[in-house]
Amino acid sequence: MTDPTVRAILDELWQGAGLAGEVPARLTGAEPALPSSFRIGAAAQASIATATAAAAEIHRRRGGPAQQAEVGMRHAALEFGSERYLRLGDAAAPARWDDIAGTYRCGDGRWVRLHTNFPHHRAGVLRLLGCAGNRAAVGQALRDWEGFAFEQAAAEAGMCVAAMRSFAEWDAHPQGRAVAGLPPVRLERIGEAPPTPLPPLAARPLQGIRVLEATRVIAGPVCGRTLAAHGAEVLHLSAAHLPSFDDLLPDTGRGKRSATIDLRDAAGQAVLRGLVAGTDVFVQGYRPGAIAAHGFAPEALAALRPGIVCTSLSAYGEVGPWGGRRGFDSLVQTASGFNHAEAIAAGADPADPDPKVLPAQALDHASGFLLAFGTLAALLRRAAEGGSWRVSVSLAGTGHWLRGLGRLEGAFGVPVPGLDDLGDLLETGPSGFGQLTALRHSGRLAETPPYWALPPVPLGTHAAAWA
Residues annotated as part of the active site: 364
Alpha carbon distance 110, 123 (integer Å)? 23
- The CA-based angle 304-243-400, given to 5 degrees, is 70
DSSP state of 214: E
Alpha carbon distance 211, 283 (integer Å)? 7
DSSP state of 440: P
Alpha carbon distance 251, 209 (integer Å)? 22
At 91 the three-state DSSP class reads strand
Alpha carbon separation from 196 to 193, 209, 303, 459 (Å, rounded): 8, 12, 15, 32
**Residue of 340, 335, 337 whose CA lies nearest to 352:** 340
Burial of 274 (0-12, 13-18, 19+ CB in 10 A): middle
Element (H, E) at 386: none
Torsion of CA 234, 240, 243, 246, to 10 degrees: 50
Alpha carbon distance 58, 219 (integer Å)? 23
End-to-end CA distance of the chain: 51
Please report the sign of the dihedral spanned by the C-alpha atoms of residue 133, residue 100, residue 326, residue 458.
positive
User: Helix 40-61 to helix 6-16 angle, to the nearest 10 degrees?
Assistant: 50
Ordered alpha helix ranges (H), 157-258? 167-172, 174-180, 219-229, 249-252
Q: CB–CB of 71/48 below 8 Å?
A: yes
Tell how far CA 196 is from the center of its chain.
27
- The CA-based angle 224-227-230, given to 5 degrees, is 150
